[in-house]
């Protein structure tokens, strides 16, 4: 069950724990940092990591994948065979990570990167987003595709049902941008914001089918977007339409057809988020998006109305630059948290240059009423920055 009252957590990659040795790592987190909750990155994107205190390697090149053995029956509902991450050597790999945390009465949440992937698009290019010009994305699975949706739900079901997580915090569950990092970026001609948005629209067979099922033929829109991009992208930057891809523009562009398509995309994402929320509810777990948002936000392609009634914690950020601005922003953020949830905040210890500075920021959040604190990734931090965390532990004591 999700920790209530207060908690001190940290984001952590599974290899951080197992490279160091589970008990050695947990002893440090518990005794030096004073923490009692993990946000384990159980599914993650590819990356290059510098690991300043890892005893086995200073640099890790990682293809990304899931960091547990898939076991749940729901995996039979998708033809996607997940990319199992490097280092996951046995079925018990994630069990040990969770069980030894539970032995200390720690909370265990899972951080999940869903549809942004490098290995899966290579194996399943037909499941990726397709732009208006017919090019398949190479880093992003389309959330309208039934196999992708079943894959998303299998991850959640496994992490909650098999591995017993308290909740899911996520990234990239909906549609993504055309410009997720793939290989060396050689985009020398940067598209204007609206063109970048149009490049990110998916017109794969499933997206088009969902539109037709909603009574909208997307083909004229696709052709119009395609024609627009062919005219716009070769142009000189000074001639670009540099306006933002905001709601007013979306509602009016392409004679309203863009907005109609956005409505379909929003429903595609909303129903997927709703299905994840249902799985969380079945397991008594929390679905924990970042932020405190509500309502149907078609322009962003997300509908929070299926999620908000079930929120248990709301992740806030300290906005502004000065201490006064941050304090006022936090107090306003706390006041806006719905009654059935509690506020939470993540601090990045690497943004501070001393223990005192980190403690001041954590203390300010505590004074604003936040009793659930978490810290950014363990393995990517310097040892002394992690030690500072322990000096702030009164905030979640
Ligand atoms: Zn699609």
* Element (DSSP H or E) covering residue 107: strand 107-113
The residue-averaged pLDDT of 355-379 equals 97
CA angle 185, 40, 3 (to 5 degrees): 135
CA contacts within 13 A on the Cβ side of 7: 26
Per-residue pLDDT band at 269 (split at 50, 70, 90): very high
User: pLDDT at residue 239 above 80?
Assistant: no
Kindly give the distance from the C-alpha atom of residue 110 to the centroid of ligand 1, in angstroms, as a whole number: 26
Surface-to-core class of residue 278, CB atoms within 10 Å of its CB (0-12 exposed, 13-18 middle, 19+ buried) = middle
Asked whether residue 261 is assigned to any structural domain, the reply reads no
- Residue 140 Cα to ligand 1 midpoint, Å, equals 10
- Measured in angstroms, how far is the CA atom of residue 221 from the centroid of ligand 1? 14
Cα-based distances in Å from 192 to 126, 243, 271: 28, 8, 31
Rounded to an integer, the average pLDDT of 67-72 is 97
Residue 99 lies in a domain: yes
Ligand 1 center–CA 190 separation, angstroms: 24
Is the residue at 157 inside a domain? yes
Distance 201 CA to ligand 1 centre (A): 8
What CA–CA distance (Å, rounded) separates 169 from 234?
Answer: 40
Which residues line ion ligand 1, judged by CB < 5 Å? 142, 144, 202, 204, 207
Q: Which of 289, 37, 273, 304 is nearest to 166 (CA)?
A: 37
Tens-place pLDDT, residues 317-345: 988 899 999 999 999 999 999 999 999 99
**Mean pLDDT, range 262-272, rounded to an integer:** 97
pLDDT the model gives residue 260:
98
Distances in Å between the Cα of 135 and the Cα atoms of 66, 98, 131, 266, 390 are 27, 41, 5, 22, 49
Average of per-residue pLDDT across 74-90:
95
pLDDT at 13: 98
The answer to whether residue 211 is domain-embedded is: no
Is 281 domain-assigned? yes
In order of 2, 41, 250, 251, 313, the CA distances from 168 in angstroms are 10, 10, 31, 33, 11
CA 33 – ligand 1 centroid, Å? 44
Q: Report how far ligand 1's centroid is from the alpha carbon of 203 (Å).
A: 5
Give me ligand 1 centre to Cα 210, in Å: 9
Domain that holds residue 40: 7-191+266-395
Per the CB < 8 A criterion, the answer to whether 241 and 118 are in contact is: no
Our count of domains for the chain comes to 1
Q: Is the pLDDT reported for residue 237 higher than 80?
A: no
150 lies in some domain: yes
- pLDDT recorded at residue 355: 98
Is 90 exceeded by the pLDDT of residue 290? no
CA distance 226 to 230: 6
Q: Quote the ligand 1 centre to 46 CA distance (angstroms).
A: 22
CATH number, domain of 82, equals 3.20.20.80
In a domain, 48, yes or no: yes
Residue 216 tokens read as 């909208």
Compute the CA torsion angle 160, 279, 347, 374 (nearest 10 deg): -40
Q: pLDDT per residue over 176-195, tens digit each?
A: 998 887 777 888 888 999 99
CA of 116 to the centre of ligand 1 (A): 14
Is residue 248 situated within a structural domain?
A: no
Q: Does 114 score more than 90 pLDDT?
A: yes
Q: Mean of the per-residue pLDDT values for the chain?
A: 95
Distance 122 CA to ligand 1 centre (A): 17
| d(CA 127, ligand 1 centre) in Å | 8
Which range among 102-106, 237-241, 316-320, 369-373 shows the weakest confidence by mean pLDDT? 237-241
Q: Is the pLDDT of residue 141 over 90?
A: yes
With bands split at pLDDT 50, 70 and 90, how would you rate the model's confidence at 240? confident
Distance of CA 62 from the midpoint of ligand 1 (Å)? 27
Range of lowest pLDDT (294-298, 353-357, 380-384): 294-298
Query: Cβ of 27: how many Cβ atoms within 10 Å?
Result: 13
CA of residue 208 to ligand 1 center, whole Å: 7
Report the pLDDT averaged over residues 257-282.
97
Give pLDDT, residue 89.
Answer: 87
Task: Using DSSP, state whether 182 is helix, strand or coil.
Answer: coil
């Amino acid at each position: 069950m999700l920790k209530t009252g207060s908690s001190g957590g940290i984001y952590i990659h599974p290899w951080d724990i197992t490279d160091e040795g589970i008990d050695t790592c947990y002893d440090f987190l518990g005794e030096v940092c004073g923490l009692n909750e993990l946000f384990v990155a159980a599914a993650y994107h590819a990356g290059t990591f510098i690991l300043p205190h890892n005893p086995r390697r200073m640099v890790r090149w990682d293809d990304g994948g899931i960091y547990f053995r898939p076991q749940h029956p729901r995996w039979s509902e998708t033809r996607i065979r997940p990319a199992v991450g490097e280092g996951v050597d046995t079925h018990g790999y994630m069990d040990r990570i969770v069980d030894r945390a539970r032995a200390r009465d720690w909370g265990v949440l899972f951080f999940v990167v869903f549809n942004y992937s490098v290995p899966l698009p290579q194996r399943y290019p037909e499941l990726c987003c397709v732009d208006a010009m017919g090019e398949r994305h190479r880093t992003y699975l389309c959330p309208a595709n039934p196999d992708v949706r079943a894959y998303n739900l299998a991850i959640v079901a496994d992490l909650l049902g098999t591995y017993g997580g308290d909740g899911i915090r996520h990234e990239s569950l909906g549609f993504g941008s055309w410009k997720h990092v793939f290989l060396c970026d050689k985009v020398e001609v940067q598209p204007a914001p609206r063109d970048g948005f149009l490049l990110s629209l998916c017109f794969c067979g499933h997206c088009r089918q969902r539109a037709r099922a909603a009574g909208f033929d997307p083909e004229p829109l696709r052709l119009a977007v395609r024609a627009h991009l062919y005219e716009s992208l070769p142009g000189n930057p000074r001639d670009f339409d540099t306006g933002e891809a905001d709601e007013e523009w979306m509602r009016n562009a392409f004679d309203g057809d863009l907005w109609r398509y956005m409505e379909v995309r929003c429903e595609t994402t909303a129903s997927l988020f709703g299905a994840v929320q249902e799985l969380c509810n079945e397991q008594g777990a929390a679905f924990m998006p970042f932020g405190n948002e509500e309502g149907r936000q078609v322009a962003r392609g997300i509908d929070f109305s299926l999620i908000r009634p079930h929120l248990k914690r709301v992740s806030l950020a300290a906005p502004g630059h000065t201490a006064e601005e941050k304090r006022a922003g936090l107090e306003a953020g706390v006041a806006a948290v719905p009654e059935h949830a509690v506020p939470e905040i993540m601090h990045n210890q690497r943004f501070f240059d001393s223990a005192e500075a980190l403690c001041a920021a954590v203390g300010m959040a505590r004074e604003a009423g936040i009793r659930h604190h978490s810290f950014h990734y363990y393995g990517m931090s310097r040892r002394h920055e992690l030690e500072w965390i322990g000096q702030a532990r009164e905030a979640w004591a």
